[in-house]
Amino acid sequence: MKRVFIILILTIMNSVSYAQNWLDGSLYPFKSKYIQLQTGNMHYIDEGEGDIILFVHGTPTWSFLYRDFVRELSRDHRCIAIDHIGFGLSEKPGSFSGIPQDHAKNLSEFINRLDLQNITLVVHDFGGPIGLAAGIEHHRKIKKVVLFNTWLWATHEDEGAQKVNKIVNSRLGQFFYLNMNFSPKFLLKKGFSDKKNLSRKVHKHYIKPFPDTQSRMPLLKIARALVGSSGWYQDQWQQLDKLADKEWLILWGSEDRFITTQYLEKWRERLPQAEINEFDCGHFVQEEKTNKAIAEIRFFMEN
């Protein structure tokens, strides 16, 4: 037990020490917190008081994606943003499967451990199926949902998903992901409709959490789950009625090359009561239309 405790302390110290080497406090001015889950040590930030807003990121991002949202909305609300195991400042254990269904289990454990109630759930990208699955499990604890570009249905017949799946399961794709840090260095940039909205300083904060091949395995694992977890996505889609009666706000980047407006139409059909706002930007509304998205969430929370 003593040895396990020492390892845990060293892990936390190493994570914090590593973060301080490259993390810009002016961009991310939050106190880091950690919680030891069954699968690893999860980093999160917890700012402000009031109704809870729980931010769930996708790939290759981390809680940094929501930094401005937390800074602004924590004036009136309790804002919690996690880093999935394997991402951001969280532990990156090689033994963790890295598939969305296990990330969802981590999030469910996190919600239970912190005894979170009356949650406004904010999801994006892979954080959609991860966050919504946890939300379905804890549907009595969910009050509202804010949804950025994401999906929650079978992907195995989707042409775009099939192309990605073929690449990430090839030797060349594996080489790009593990040796060239392909996802945050190159794919992330393609998610912006205007590359000027991604400064070098900000881009660095998405690249640095993955300094070597071992730390990049979570990126490859979750990319392979785009189609690999197709059946599980569909299972969650069929259970979405547990959340359908909540209040929904959809904030959508209409110039997203990955998760296009065709996905939005499927959400519109399933959730006709949802309030929907489209923005002329790419996949990362949080980075390209920051102030407008924050204003929409603030209005949604207050009304």
Q: What is the mean pLDDT of residues 35-41?
A: 98
Question: What domains can you pick out in the chain, each with its CATH number?
Answer: 2-302 (3.40.50.1820)
Percentage of the residues of the chain whose pLDDT score is greater than 90: 93
- pLDDT tens figures, 210-269: 999 999 999 999 999 999 999 999 999 999 999 999 999 999 999 999 999 999 999 999
**Confidence check: pLDDT of 2 > 90:** no
pLDDT of residue 21: 86
**Confidence check: pLDDT of 17 > 80:** no
- pLDDT tens figures, 140-155: 999 999 999 999 999 9
Give me the amino acid identity at 285.
Answer: V
pLDDT of residue 20: 56
- pLDDT tens figures, 85-94: 999 999 999 9
Percentage of the residues of the chain whose pLDDT score is greater than 70: 93
How many CA atoms lie less than 13 Å away from 191 in the CB half-sphere? 27
State the Cα–Cα distance between residues 64 and 57, nearest whole angstrom: 9
**C-alpha distances in Å from residue 19, one per residue of 60, 90, 93, 204:** 17, 10, 17, 12
Q: What is the mean pLDDT of residues 191-212?
A: 97
pLDDT of residue 19: 47
Q: What is the mean pLDDT of residues 2-28?
A: 61
State the Cα–Cα distance between residues 301 and 37, nearest whole angstrom: 30
pLDDT of residue 261: 97
pLDDT of residue 18: 44
Contact call for residues 281 and 288 (beta carbons, < 8 A): yes
- pLDDT tens figures, 175-194: 999 999 999 999 999 999 99
